[in-house]
């Protein structure tokens, strides 16, 4: 073989290998789809180099078989074949079409919301590759601007939307189980229902988050081409939009039973991994009655529940999602976290009947979340804030554990104003590196489990551990304030038809348990009346329902008690209650005589104890993260949104990279 011929081939192979190494690096960093990039790179360099190879062949008139006489040619071909084989082996198919399971998410005795975020949160997201915050003169830090594109609320624009009774639509057309659905009257997208979303629901979601979250971003955001994301319709932001996050909105039936709404993010910034576009869909069945203002006023509890479901789903899109944790930035370093912030543990536990079983748990361990969780429970040995584990590993990651954080924390509290919980704020904001905080003084943490120690935070529920009033009463069917005092309800237990799952067995009889399986059948006062509900009828002197009202125990006789709703506030560490327009301090565990007919038993639930952040959080997200990381191409690319930094995948890819590089040195 002549030197010219060998140099030409070596040059071609060098470019291919160099590009492949770059692809490996990007694949390891989770920036793009590895196989797609490999194929495009191979074709691109092949076209660039083909003229040189052809020229050499024509000039030297070398026949192909003569190449095989050279030992280095054998090695070249062997290494080239190994390159292709290793590329296929190194490629992780789970990053393209991973599927997860979901669980039923029902946090109280209202209409249950079956959150399917983990099911519809497909792993492939599109990445915008041309943003540089430091170089953009329009970049600033400001309250987050959530905008909503309502194109597909117009008549006849969306294929899954119901416009008339009897219309047949195909739900979930892109899944393995598309569903043919016949539209009912309650499914119709009427002008009144459109108005409900555009005038009430969507502005509520946008204003709620802009009150608490800031973001460092440019005046406008865009994406270079049209695309689809979960839904059938096309999303088009090629002309850009003035905002930080855009949601395309639809209102069509949902095949999954009990699901009020769902949402997911679709576009991420390649420099930070922060989401900036997504979809949200609402089931018309649940919202249609509320198009009537009188009905909304008369059914405030359910209306507020549906509003908070919208907030809950928007929270997933903004980052509270297991598919996004790998992209979180450490605010102190400006780089991604060195270790996974979501961990899991497995321990062996024993039921009251003496049966041993393995118990798997999941935790968020990022700095602010860990600090807030430890401070909330009063447990400095806590490893992290626990995530929901009902439904298996596919469910874990995107919801706080109900038994740890309660009926108020599970879906963001029910009150008409967004009272963001510190746990979600710290996870979404400080520990993502994408957001800043505003108005922390107006955020409100739940009293559920507050100050109840390590046993409550780390062990399964028992009467001894759940001993505070409102949790596990000594007698069945006992009325009282709910555990977080958000309302009035009843605690009870009963026998199920079959044995409960091992973690839900808290009695010697494996069939006996509390009412809510989402709460692992633990026993607590589940509210049936809420104090924020201004349509609720009052029963006692000085009762007031409203956004700032909570349940108080009232002594009627030396041995009997009643439960009513009264405004409360914190003055420093002191709880105060309002009675007939006057505020009085209510010392924990003591009685407070307000009038001849009204004596309150002050709650001992650490309502006013602080659940502080580790330090006063900045309103400025981590600007340093905007330009960190490897150089990225300017064209949009497909990037795997989950499992991109899995340790085992990283090790396998890196091994193949080393082997190929060593092989190349021998050529």
* Region 316-335 average pLDDT: 88
Asked whether residue 320 carries a pLDDT value surpassing 90, the answer given is: no
Q: What phi and psi, each to the nearest 5 degrees, are found at residue 141?
A: -105, 130
Quick: pLDDT tens for 97-140.
322 223 223 333 344 566 665 555 544 456 665 666 666 778 89
Write out the residue limits of the CATH 3.10.170.20 domain(s) in the chain: 116-322
pLDDT tens-place string over residues 423-455: 676 677 778 999 988 877 676 677 889 999 999
Q: In what order do the strands lie in the sheet with 549-555?
A: 582-585, 574-579, 561-571, 549-555, 599-601, 591-593
Residue whose C-alpha is closest to residue 504's, from 524, 492, 520, 518: 520
For the chain, the 3-state helix, strand and coil shares in percent, each to the nearest 5, are: 35, 20, 45
Residue 425 CA to residue 115 CA, distance in Å, equals: 20
How far is the CA of 497 from the CAs of 313, 353, 511, 516, 522, in angstroms?
Answer: 33, 17, 7, 15, 17
513 pLDDT tier (thresholds 50, 70, 90): very high
Which tokens in the block code for residue 156? 């006849």
**SS3 labels along 523-569:** CCCEEEEECCCCCCCCCCCCCCCCCCEEEEEEECCCCCEEEEEEEEE
Q: Which of 426, 455, 456 is nearest to 443 (CA)?
A: 426
Q: How far apart are CA 651 and CA 50, in angstroms?
A: 34
Extract the tokens encoding 531: 């104090």
Task: Compute the distance between CA of residue 248 and CA of residue 147 in angstroms, rounded to an integer.
Answer: 9
Higher pLDDT, 518 or 476: 476
Residues 6+ apart with CB under 8 A from 639: 30, 31, 32, 33, 124, 125, 126, 127, 268, 270
Q: Please tell me which of 71-85, 246-260, 428-442 the model is most confident about, judged by mean pLDDT.
A: 246-260
Identify the weakest region by mean pLDDT among 10-14, 379-383, 472-476: 10-14
- pLDDT bin (cut points 50, 70, 90) of residue 637 is very low
Residues annotated within the binding site for Zn(2+) are: 312, 316, 399
Looking at per-residue confidence, does 343 or 77 come out higher? 343
Contacts (Cβ under 8 Å, ≥6 apart) of 525: 470, 471, 473, 478, 479, 480, 481, 482, 483, 488, 489, 490, 491
The residues annotated with a catalytic role in the active site are 313
Share of the chain above pLDDT 90, in %: 50
Per-residue pLDDT reduced to its tens digit, 2-56: 444 444 444 444 444 544 544 443 343 333 344 444 454 455 445 445 544 554 4
- Give the chain's mean pLDDT: 76
The continuous run of DSSP H or E covering 47 comes out as helix 34-60
Contact (Cβ atoms closer than 8 angstroms) between residue 376 and residue 450: yes
CA angle, 466 as apex, 460 and 469 as ends, to 5°? 160
CA quadruple 256, 261, 266, 268: dihedral, nearest 10: -130
The pLDDT value recorded for residue 205 is 93
Residue with tokens 């800043």: 436
Among 75-89, 162-176, 282-296, name the one with the lowest average pLDDT: 75-89
For residue 607, pLDDT over 60 is answered with yes
- Max avg pLDDT among 105-109, 285-289, 392-396, 471-475: 285-289
- Per-residue pLDDT at 579 exceeds 90: yes
pLDDT of residue 384: 94
What is the pLDDT, as a whole number, of residue 428? Answer: 72
Instruction: Tell me what the mean pLDDT of segment 485-514 comes to.
Output: 95
pLDDT class for 257, splitting at 50, 70, 90?
confident
CA distance 279 to 146: 12
Q: Lowest mean pLDDT of 62-66, 500-504, 535-539, 566-570, name the range.
A: 62-66
Do residues 123 and 643 touch, judged by C-beta distance below 8 A? yes
Cα Rg for the chain, rounded, in angstroms? 29
Predicted local distance difference test score (pLDDT) of residue 255: 87
Provide mean pLDDT across the span 399-405.
88
Is the predicted pLDDT of residue 82 greater than 70, yes or no? no
pLDDT for position 51: 42
Which pLDDT band holds residue 664 (cuts at 50, 70, 90)? very low
Q: In whole angstroms, what separates CA 264 from the centre of its chain?
A: 9
Percent of the chain at pLDDT > 70 equals 66
What pLDDT score was predicted for residue 386?
Answer: 93
pLDDT for the residue numbered 115: 63
> Hey, is 350 helix, strand or coil?
strand
pLDDT tens digits along 266-287: 999 988 889 999 999 999 999 9
User: Which has the minimum average pLDDT: 152-166, 302-316, 579-593?
Assistant: 302-316
pLDDT of residue 263: 92
3-state secondary structure of 158: coil
Residue 84 contacts by C-beta under 8 Å, 6 or more apart in sequence?
A: none
The reported pLDDT for the residue numbered 398 is 82
Which range in 354-363, 438-447, 610-619, 635-644 is most confidently predicted, on average pLDDT? 354-363
CB 485 within 8 A of CB 331: no
Is the per-residue pLDDT at 556 higher than 70? yes
116-322 domain in CATH 3.10.170.20? yes
């Amino acid at each position: 073989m002549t030197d010219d011929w060998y140099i030409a081939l070596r040059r071609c192979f060098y470019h291919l290998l160099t590009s492949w190494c770059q692809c490996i690096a990007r694949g390891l960093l989770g920036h793009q789809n590895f196989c797609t990039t490999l194929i495009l790179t191979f074709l691109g360099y092949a076209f660039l180099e083909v003229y040189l190879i052809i020229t050499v062949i024509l000039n030297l008139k070398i026949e192909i078989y003569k190449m095989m006489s050279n030992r280095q040619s054998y090695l070249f071909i062997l290494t080239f074949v190994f390159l292709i084989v290793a590329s296929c082996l190194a490629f992780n198919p789970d990053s393209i079409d991973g599927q997860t399971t979901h669980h039923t998410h029902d946090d109280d005795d209202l209409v249950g919301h079956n959150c399917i975020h983990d099911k519809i949160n497909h792993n492939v997201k599109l990445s915008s590759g041309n943003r540089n915050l430091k170089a953009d003169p329009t970049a600033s830090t400001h309250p987050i601007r959530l905008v909503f594109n309502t194109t597909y609320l117009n008549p006849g624009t969306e294929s899954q939307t119901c416009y008339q009774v009897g219309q047949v639509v195909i739900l979930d057309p892109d899944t393995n189980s598309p569903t043919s659905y016949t539209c009912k009257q309650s499914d119709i997208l009427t002008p009144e229902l459109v108005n409900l979303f555009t005038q009430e629901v969507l502005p509520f979601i946008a204003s709620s988050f802009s009150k608490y979250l800031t973001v460092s971003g440019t005046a406008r955001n865009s994406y270079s081409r049209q695309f689809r994301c979960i839904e059938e319709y096309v999303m088009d932001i090629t002309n850009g939009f003035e905002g930080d996050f855009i949601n395309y909105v639809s209102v069509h039936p949902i095949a999954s039973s009990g699901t009020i709404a769902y949402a997911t993010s679709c576009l991420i910034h390649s420099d930070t991994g922060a989401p900036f576009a997504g979809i949200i869909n609402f089931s018309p069945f649940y919202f249609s009655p509320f198009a009537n203002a009188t009905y909304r006023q008369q059914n405030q509890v359910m209306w507020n529940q549906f509003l908070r479901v919208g907030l809950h789903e928007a929270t997933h899109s903004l980052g509270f999602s297991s598919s996004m944790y790998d992209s979180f930035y450490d605010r102190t370093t400006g780089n991604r976290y060195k270790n996974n912030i979501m961990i899991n543990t497995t321990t062996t536990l024993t039921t009251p009947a003496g049966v041993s079983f393995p118990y798997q748990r999941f935790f968020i361990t990022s700095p602010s979340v860990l600090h807030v969780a430890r401070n909330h429970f009063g447990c400095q040995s806590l490893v992290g804030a626990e995530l929901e584990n009902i439904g298996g590993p596919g469910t874990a990651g995107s919801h706080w554990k109900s038994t740890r954080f309660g009926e108020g924390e599970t879906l963001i509290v029910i009150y008409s104003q967004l009272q963001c919980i510190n746990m979600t704020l710290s996870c979404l904001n400080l520990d993502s590196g994408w957001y800043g905080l505003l108005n922390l003084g107006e955020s409100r943490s739940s009293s559920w489990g507050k100050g109840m120690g390590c046993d409550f935070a780390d062990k399964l529920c028992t009467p001894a551990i759940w001993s505070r009033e409102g949790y596990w009463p000594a007698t069945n069917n006992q009325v009282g304030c709910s555990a977080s005092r958000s309302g009035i309800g009843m605690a009870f237990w009963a026998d199920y038809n079959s044995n409960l799952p091992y973690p839900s067995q808290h009695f010697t009889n494996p069939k006996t348990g509390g009412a809510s399986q989402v709460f692992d059948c633990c026993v607590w006062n589940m509210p049936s009346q809420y104090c924020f509900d201004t349509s609720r009828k009052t029963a006692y002197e000085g009762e007031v329902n409203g956004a700032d009202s909570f349940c108080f125990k009232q002594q009627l006789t030396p041995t009997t008690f009643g439960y009513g709703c009264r405004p409360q506030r914190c003055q420093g560490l002191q709880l105060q209650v309002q009675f007939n327009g006057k505020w009085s301090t209510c010392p924990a565990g003591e009685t407070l005589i307000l009038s001849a007919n009204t004596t309150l038993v002050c709650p001992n639930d650490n309502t006013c104890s602080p659940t502080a952040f580790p330090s006063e959080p900045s309103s400025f997200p981590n600007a340093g993260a905007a330009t960190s990381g490897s150089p990225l191409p300017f064209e949009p690319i497909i990037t795997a949104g989950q499992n991109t930094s899995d340790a085992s995948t990283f090790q396998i890819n890196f091994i193949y990279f080393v082997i190929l590089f060593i092989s190349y040195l021998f050529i």
